[in-house]
Every structure is written in structure tokens, then in C-alpha cells.
Amino acid sequence: MPNTAPYRLLSDWNAQDRVIELKLEIAGGATLAGAKLATTSLFRIHPECRIEGATLAGQLSNHHVFAQPEGTRIAPGQSWIIRADRLSHVLRHYTYGPKSAFLILADGSTHPVAVEPMTLNGVPGAPHWEEIAPQDLPAGAAPLSVIPAPRAVSVAGRRDPALPLVIATEAPLAAQKAFSAVRALAGRLFTRDEPLYCHGEGHIVAAQDEAALRDGAYRIAFARDGITLSAGGEDGYRHGFITLGQMLRGARQRPRDFALPEAGTIDDEPRFGWRGAHLDVARQFYAMQDVVDFLDCLAWNKLNRFHMHLNDDEAWRLEIPRFPALTEKAAFRGVGEILPPLLGTPAERTGGFYTGDDIRALVAHGLSLGIEIIPEIDIPGHCHCVLEVLPELRDPGETGVYRSVQYFPNNALNPAVEATWDFLAAVFDRLVELFPARHLHAGADEVAEGAWLGSPLAVALGERLFGKAETFTLQSHFLKRVQEMLRARGRDIAVWEEAALGGGLDAEGALLVAWRESKSGRALAEQGYRVVLAPAEHYYFDMARSAEWWEPGASWAGTVSLRDTYDYDPGSDWPDALKPQLAGVQSCLWSENLSLPGLFTHLVYPRLSAMAEGAWCAPERKDFARFLATQDLMPVSARG
Ligand code: ACM
């Protein structure tokens, strides 16, 4: 569509001087006087920044309002130039720049501004990204289009790929259920394909229970007169049917490389019980269909945990009947709302939330695919919007300002305010009502150094309990109380790794997700915790895939190429004695940049499948060349 907006925002990062220039081009409309330019971005203006060409009339994290200097006038055909010399961090990719913008005229009316991708050192360009070129299967590789690669394979020959897979009528109930779920899954994922699974004519798959096969394991025996799938239960059957469907699909799409075998066996089982993917549905809202679609892609990769990050400073997405204002007010951002536009949202009210029925539908969908949904309510930090909607949760005597790494002021729930615990009781009751998962995730990441130290109530609590108020001992006190509340509701706590600070938690039943560095997981295990590994430098899919300016994403943890994800060997630095404490692995996708079209697919796929091989396969089964030649057969989300 041609750009007809009279206002266009260009931006440029001068990497030598570390100065950002914003240039508002005015093609029409009235002469600007007393106007304000509002922008959202990934960067934040540092408190010591000098700004030329405007004054900073307002800021919340990455939402900035620049006021036109008094007495100036900018006519159509002219530009308004603003320079700022100190930002929260060095800008490394175009996606760090402005994401949305609008003008506020002197009469208070708002007007959209078209935002161009930020350039580097004035060099024009356009966003682009390297797609992975199709690769040939390495010589000698088994003709097996299966990701993650099965544990033991010995197969030969090929069956007719035109025929679908059909389950034998006498198959046990668990196999019938798994077949129906996988058939429906493939129908949703591959809408343009001929059906992979049918009733009627086709390759008959006999199914038989084999109690000796542990959870998730399966065996496939191929013989000229039929295929036999054995498993210990529904998970194993589901995995087996997915493997068969992947082979059939490969044989149809790339018959030179792949086959549905005629003879031989596949013996397979997962390496880890926790094979997860996290999605931040707070920074951006994901419609139900997007989440269902993502769950489907997880299932085809044999992943079995979906970690749903339901709140953050920038939004609260889960309806809590006792506190309806949370979703009425904090699930939406816009001018005049409790939350201003942030991270790409426009002046108009936008957002969304999940009702109880939505969550029940997602949980049921996940369960039908063997995926448990672990809800995360991120506390005590990352609670800016909660505290804006429920100011009674603040200590009225609090003085001083601390700021989170994302520049949200005083954003931690206060353990010394009794209303905090009433609020959390309602939230946990709701989680328990909606989510059957054993673990409920309580966040605990990135509480700011200095949090609570300006709160007389929290200081008194710290002095009473510990002789001294200190942020992380108070955090430990907070989290232990949360752990007890979850235990009283029959659940265990999951948390990010910072929960171990200041005295930590009771290790019994607790699950810590290690994210800051690949070596942090081992240190947590040494302290007695059970651990999920999600190291940012391998498994954070919001990290850009390369250092190029035009590659989208962030890179505070470095860039994460497909190979960086693939080659990570979870637990390889752990002594054998600690390995029983390694529950598994998961990827994380933080959504700060995900307002831009096309980014979800580019950032998630095929790194998701690379992580899935790490979750499923023993290291000796991994082979990057074979993976590269097969990954293009894996599904991507329809979200784009
Ligand atoms: C995190 O990345 N803050 C867990």
C-alpha cells in the first residue's frame, strides 16, 4: 500500500558517537507548533541523556514523548530533527529503533506516523534476512525425514508414498486416541498436503501395548505385510505416529532423499522429560489461534511443555475474576490508558487477554498433544502494570526510586504489604483452577537491586526477620511464602534462576530455569535444585541470528545462529552425580520485537527444531548436516 500518512519518522544510529537521530518528515497538514512526538522502541532514553531539538515531556520505559521546543514552528515540507546522546544500551540491529510513533498536536488530537526501519551511520538499506538454503542429505545418511532424530534406526526399502497411514481397527484405545490427535494435528499443520493419516485404504499400522517401553518411548517394526507400532502409553504412540507421518511426508515431498521404509526397525525414546518452549504473551498479545498454532508446531517437534509468560510490566493477560480491573485496564495499551503505547503499539487502545474458557481450551488442546501448559505469573518484579491498576499494593510511605533493567520505576510487589498476599491468593487460586500442571511458575527474575529499600514497611520487615533490610533476602522471604502458598494448593514452584539469590527457596519440589549463561545451571544443581536449562546464548530465540544490522532481534546475549542452538549440549559440563537433577531444556521467546510482521517465523524456525533435537537426542545422534537437509520439512506457524 502506498504510504499516504503526512508524517513519516526516519531514524539513524551513529555508532561512533552513540547518538540517535529521529527525523520527522512532514508532508502535509498544518504547521506544527506546540506539538509532541510520541515513540515506542526497544531503547530507552537514559536519565543523563542530552536531547537536542526537543525536550522529553514524558517517558515510561521505551515510551517517549518529545515536545517541540517552545516558539518553534515546523511547516509542511520541513522536518523536525531530534538527537539524543545517551541511551539504555548500544543499538545493534534495526529492530532496536522506533517501532511505532504518533503526533500529539497542540489541541490534544493524535495522528499516526509511519515508521521507517532505523538505519546505521546514515547508510540506507532495508530489512532482509538470510533464509537457509535447501541442502542435500549427506552421503550415507539414512533416508529418514524425522526431527528429532530417533535413537536407533535400521531400515531398508521403500513403500508407496501415495498411500496414507491407517490404524488397524483392533488397536488399543491409547493408540486410537493418539492416532486421532496426530491425524487432526497434521490436517491443521499441512493444509495443502494430501492427508498423511486416514481411515480406509493405506499402510496399515498395527499397534500393541508394551509396558516395558518407558514414558514417551516407542518401537516401529516395518515388514512387507505391515507396520507395527509398540508403545507403553499414549505419549509413545503419539510420538510413533508423528515419526511415521514425518517419514511419509518426506517420501512424498523429496522422494530422492527420503522413504517410508519397507523393512527394519526404529527404537526411540526422549532424552529429557522436560522438552519445553516459552512464549511471552505479555509484551505482545497473541490471539488464541496463534497460540494453538504454536502448540501444534511444538507437538510435531515432540516437545511437551509450553511455558506461558502471562504478565509483565507491559501487560497482564489472564482474567482473574476477583480483580477484573487487571484485564480491563492492564491488558490494553494506548493514549489515556493506564499503560501508554509500548513496544510497537499505536496511540489507539490495543491488546487482549485470555478468559477462563480460553485457557481451558488451550489446556485441553495441549493435553490432546501431550503438552502441559505451565503458566507463569512473573512476581515480585516485572509488576509495573499490576501496581498501576492496584495501587493499594504499594507501601504509601515508600520514598525514592529504583528502576528495573527495562526502566520501569518501583515495579516489585511488596512482601510487607498485606494486600499483596490477598492478591496473590486470588491469582494462585485461579491458576490452580485453570492449569492442571504440577509446576506453576512464579517468575522471580530481574528484581532490581535496591528494590523495597525505600519502603518503611519492607525495611521494618527485613530488620525484624534478618536484622537488616536487603533486597535479595527480602526476595527469598517473598518467594518462600509463595512456595508455601503453592504447596498448600498441591503444586510445586518453578522460577527463573535469580530465585536462588539471598537464601533462595526450599529445593524440595522447586524447579529453577537457568537462563543467564550456560554454566549457571550447574551452579544451581550444586545448590541442590532441579534445573531446566534455557541458556540465552543458545536457546533465546529473540536473539538475532547474526550480527548484521538488518538481521532482526536483540543481541544482549550475543547472536544465536542456528548452529549455536543446534550445537548446545545440555549438561555436558555437569558431573554425573548432578545429572539426575537436570529435568530438561526449553527455548524462550521474549516478544519485545514481535510487533513486526514476519519476525515470529524468522526467529522461531528452524531454531525450535534445533532445540528439539537437543531435548530429545543423545549427543551422539546429532548431526548438523543431516539436520540442515531435513529441517525445511518441519512446519512453521501461520502467524508469519
Ligand atoms: C529472563 O530472561 N528475564 C528470564
Answer whether residue 3 shows pLDDT above 60. no
Residue 165, sorted as left (phi over 0), alpha (psi -120 to 50) or beta, turns out to be beta
pLDDT band at 75 (very low <50, low <70, confident <90, very high): very high
CB 222 within 8 A of CB 155: yes
Does the global pTM surpass 0.95?
A: yes
Mutation to probe ligand 1, out of 515, 537, 543 (largest number of atoms < 8 A from CB): 515
The rounded distance, in Å, linking the Cα atoms of 456 and 471 is: 13
* Ligand 1 centroid – CA 494 distance (Å): 13
Classify residue 530 by burial, with Cβ atoms within 10 Å: 0-12, 13-18, 19+.
buried
What integer pLDDT is reported at residue 150 of this predicted model?
Answer: 98
Answer whether residue 18 shows pLDDT above 80. yes
The rounded distance, in Å, linking the Cα atoms of 225 and 534 is: 44
CA distances 254 to 244, 291, 304, 391, 506, Å, are 15, 30, 28, 60, 52
Closest atom of ligand 1 relative to the 516 alpha carbon: 2
Sole residue written with cell 492427508: 195
Please, which contacts does 173-176 make with residues 24 or more away whose CB atoms are closer than 8 Å?
A: 174/209, 174/231, 174/233, 174/234, 174/237, 175/207, 175/209, 175/229, 175/231, 175/234, 175/237, 176/207
Closest atom of ligand 1 relative to the 590 alpha carbon: 2
All domains of the chain in start order, with CATH:
7-120 (2.60.40.290), 152-268 (3.30.379.10), 274-446+480-633 (3.20.20.80)
pLDDT digits (tens, 9 = 90+) for 188-198: 999 999 999 99
* Ligand 1 centroid – CA 480 distance (Å): 20
* Ligand 1 centroid – CA 414 distance (Å): 20
Strands 100-104 and 36-40, bridge-based pairing: antiparallel
| Residue 515 in contact with ligand 1 by CB distance below 6 A | yes
Residue 548's contacts (CB-CB under 8 Å, 6 or more residues apart) are: 93
| Residue 446 in contact with ligand 1 by CB distance below 6 A | yes
CA distances 222 to 218, 262, 315, 554, Å, are 13, 6, 51, 46
Radius of gyration of the chain (CA): 26
* Ligand 1 centroid – CA 338 distance (Å): 24
pLDDT digits (tens, 9 = 90+) for 283-317: 999 999 999 999 999 999 999 999 999 999 999 99
Answer whether residue 488 shows pLDDT above 80. yes
What integer pLDDT is reported at residue 2 of this predicted model?
Answer: 45
Residue located nearest, by CA, to atom 1 of ligand 1: 445
CB 116 within 8 A of CB 82: no
% the chain with pLDDT above 90: 95
Phi, psi of 233, rounded to the nearest 5 degrees: 180, -170
Residue located nearest, by CA, to atom 2 of ligand 1: 515
pLDDT digits (tens, 9 = 90+) for 140-166: 888 999 999 999 999 999 999 999 999
Residue 376: which H helix or E strand, with range? strand 372-379
Closest atom of ligand 1 relative to the 540 alpha carbon: 2
Dmax of the chain from CA atoms?
88
Closest atom of ligand 1 relative to the 446 alpha carbon: 3
| Residue 445 in contact with ligand 1 by CB distance below 6 A | yes
* Ligand 1 centroid – CA 317 distance (Å): 18
Instruction: Looking at 278-395, list the stretches that DSSP marks H as alpha helix, in order from N- to C-terminal side.
Output: 288-300, 325-330, 356-368, 384-389
Mutation to probe ligand 1, out of 498, 543, 590 (largest number of atoms < 8 A from CB): 590
* Ligand 1 centroid – CA 234 distance (Å): 34
The rounded distance, in Å, linking the Cα atoms of 85 and 588 is: 32
| Residue 541 in contact with ligand 1 by CB distance below 6 A | no
Mutation to probe ligand 1, out of 445, 538, 541 (largest number of atoms < 8 A from CB): 445
* Ligand 1 centroid – CA 373 distance (Å): 18
Strands 439-443 and 372-379, bridge-based pairing: parallel
Q: Return the number of other C-beta atoms located less than 10 Å from residue 184's C-beta.
A: 14
What integer pLDDT is reported at residue 277 of this predicted model?
Answer: 99
Return the SS3 of 427: helix
The rounded distance, in Å, linking the Cα atoms of 79 and 95 is: 23
Return the SS3 of 408: coil
Instruction: Looking at 467-518, list the stretches that DSSP marks H as alpha helix, in order from N- to C-terminal side.
Output: 471-488
**Helix 234-253 and helix 288-300: axis angle, to 10°?**
90
Residue 524: which H helix or E strand, with range? helix 520-526
pLDDT band at 634 (very low <50, low <70, confident <90, very high): very high
* Ligand 1 centroid – CA 138 distance (Å): 38
* Ligand 1 centroid – CA 570 distance (Å): 19
Cell of 249: 511426508
pLDDT band at 5 (very low <50, low <70, confident <90, very high): low
CB 227 within 8 A of CB 221: yes
Q: Which residues of 543-572 are buried (b: 16+ CB within 10 A; e: fewer)?
A: bbbeebbbbbbbbebebbbbebbbebebbe
pLDDT band at 1 (very low <50, low <70, confident <90, very high): very low
* Ligand 1 centroid – CA 565 distance (Å): 18
Cell of 307: 511455558
Instruction: Looking at 437-470, list the stretches that DSSP marks H as alpha helix, in order from N- to C-terminal side.
Output: 456-466
Average pLDDT value over all residues in the chain: 96
CB 603 within 8 A of CB 553: yes
Report how far apart the first and last C-alpha atoms of the chain are (Å, whole number). Answer: 19
Closest atom of ligand 1 relative to the 588 alpha carbon: 2
pLDDT digits (tens, 9 = 90+) for 159-176: 999 999 999 999 999 999
Residue 634's contacts (CB-CB under 8 Å, 6 or more residues apart) are: 147, 297, 300, 301, 605, 606, 608, 609
The rounded distance, in Å, linking the Cα atoms of 492 and 501 is: 19
* CA-wise closest residue to 523 among 504, 509, 541: 504
Residue located nearest, by CA, to atom 3 of ligand 1: 445
| Residue 323 in contact with ligand 1 by CB distance below 6 A | no
| Residue 496 in contact with ligand 1 by CB distance below 6 A | yes
What integer pLDDT is reported at residue 547 of this predicted model?
Answer: 95
* Ligand 1 centroid – CA 589 distance (Å): 10
What integer pLDDT is reported at residue 4 of this predicted model?
Answer: 59
What integer pLDDT is reported at residue 131 of this predicted model?
Answer: 79
The rounded distance, in Å, linking the Cα atoms of 410 and 395 is: 11
